[in-house]
Amino acid sequence: MKELTKLATAIIPNNGGELVLLQREDEFTIKLSGARGVLMNSRVYNSEQELAKLGCAHIKNKAGAEVLVGGLGMGYTLATALDCVTESSRVTVAELIPEVVEWNSGPLGECAGNPLKDTRSQVRLGDIAELIKQQKPDFDAILLDVDNGPEGITNSENNWLYSAAGLNALLNSLRPKGMLAVWSAAPDSLFITQLKKAGFKNVKDKMVRARPGKGSRHIIFLAQKP
């Protein structure tokens, strides 16, 4: 088996460390420099797809739907969201790190089918929190794949999203009956309670696998605006 080749690095703002993009043949990996684990791999993406499928299920036939994706990653959530919505809909992805957008515009983008080339997609460079803080009811679905869920590891500033103030802002950024879907590496009963306190309804969590039917168990939190 060939060794991984380092292709590029990117600094995570707010002292979040450094991302490293690696490649072995047609396989890509993104790691946090100095950490043993892998953040993302181009062959393990089922839970990212499930995030989009579950978060967009209620708008699959809705004309002009608006979806916000927090975190581009390797593009799988964005690509699946585009598959889930109508041709008149739009999916905005907020990405903090410019280099991640560059990587997805290159060979890495081929893994997810080059979703950035879809005319229904648009990128907002910057912290998704700044967009959410506007609290404008612009979105029918918000899909958050930021860090490892409510307990972030790459950017401590992301913790605001999961605070009482952040959840309130997320609620106010959704249109009526809009859905918030949050990817998490692990269950969190306290987060479910916080979502309910923020005013979300139909709050639940769903276990999904990293690969179809196997692999690591991840959690998708779902919460709907009344």
**118-133 as b/e: b if 16+ CB within 10 A:** eebbebeeebbbebbe
- The mean pLDDT of the chain is 93
Output phi, psi for 131, to 5 deg: -70, -40
Domain ranges of the chain: 44-224
The string of pLDDT tens digits covering residues 17-58 is: 899 999 999 999 999 988 777 899 999 999 999 999 999 999
Beta-strand relationship, 139-144 and 66-70: parallel
Q: For the domain covering 44-224, report its CATH number.
A: 3.40.50.150
Query: What's the pTM?
Result: 0.94
With beta carbons less than 8 A apart as the criterion, state whether 35 and 147 touch.
no
